[in-house]
């Protein structure tokens, strides 16, 4: 068990070092209302230097070496992607007790809520625009050997202009 813990700790340190330039100054982050909860974390709306952002916190009760490694790997993936149909990564806090990821804020919310708000009745042109956007984003990820692993309507975000 000692070797396993040592190995995970080394991996955490290695990933934190790679993330270094993406590390945010937490004091400049304004945390506002909670907008969603997931199995391993909570999502808040906030601002960073007057820019609207989404802030994903890793839940403290889930913090262990494995969850830290997964969280840090998620940051590494987000840092490496750049596509109009994939949420933009701004930075992270990984050196303090609470781990968090900061991304662009998507004012349209998630697709699940959007569909229910519109009683699952959308114009064909909008359905096609949404489907094409999802397809382009997923194609980009797959072209870069990234597997999403949790594709569902609650995890698909909509920007201002839908």
Q: Is residue 44 within 8 Å of 54, Cβ to Cβ?
A: yes
Active site residue 25: no
CB 47 within 8 A of CB 53: yes
In SS3 terms, the chain reads as CHHHHHHHHHHHHHHHHHHHHHECCHHHEEEEEEEEECCCEEEEEEEECCEEEEEEEECHHHCCHHHHHHHHHHHHHHHHCCCCCCCCEEEEECCCCCCEEEEECCCCCEHHHHHHHCCCCCCHHHHHHHHHHHHHHHHHHHHCCCCCCCCCHHHCECCCCC
Catalytic residue among 25, 65, 113, 150: 150
Closest CA to 31 of 79, 93, 120: 93
Catalytic positions: 150
């Amino acid at each position: 068990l000692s070797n396993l813990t040592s190995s995970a700790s080394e991996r955490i340190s290695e990933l934190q070092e790679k993330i270094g330039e993406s590390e945010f100054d937490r004091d400049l982050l304004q945390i506002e209302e909670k907008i969603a909860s997931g199995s391993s974390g909570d999502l808040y709306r906030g601002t960073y230097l007057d820019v609207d952002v989404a802030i994903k916190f890793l839940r403290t009760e889930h913090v262990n070496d494995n969850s830290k490694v997964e969280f840090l790997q998620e940051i590494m993936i987000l840092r490496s992607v750049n596509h109009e149909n994939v949420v933009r990564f701004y930075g992270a806090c990984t050196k303090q007790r609470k781990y968090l990821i900061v991304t662009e804020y998507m004012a349209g919310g998630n697709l699940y809520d959007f569909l229910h708000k519109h009683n699952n009745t959308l114009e064909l042109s909008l359905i096609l625009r949404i489907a094409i956007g999802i397809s382009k984003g997923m194609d980009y990820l797959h072209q870069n050997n990234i597997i999403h692993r949790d594709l569902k309507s609650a995890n698909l975000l909509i920007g201002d202009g839908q």
